[in-house]
Amino acid sequence: MRVKFQGIYTIDEFFQALLEQRERFHELGIKNIRHASLYYQPVDEFGDPVTPRHRNGDPIDGWKNKGPYKSAATDFGL
């Protein structure tokens, strides 16, 4: 499945738009997903591309996320 967001968003606006998709998952009966990828193009407020960089000036191409924090209580069924 693919969800496409079009337009220019602030990070907060995009986060809200992404959260709103949660309701769509519920409507479709989707309870689990795997191997989700998020591709985006960083831009300034005018829509011009920008390149995020490390402190040493090297471009940041992306990163891997381990997923949400899970408390130890969840592991023990508490």
Range of the domain at 61: 1-78
Query: Which 8-state DSSP code applies to residue 53?
Result: B
Please write the tens of the pLDDT for every residue from 41-58. Answer: 999 999 999 999 999 999
| Tally of domains within the chain | 1
Q: Taking the complete model, does pTM exceed 0.85, yes or no?
A: no
What per-residue confidence (pLDDT) applies to 69?
83
What per-residue confidence (pLDDT) applies to 10?
95
Q: What phi, psi does 59 have (nearest 5°)?
A: -70, 150
Residues 9, 18: contact at Cβ < 8 Å?
no
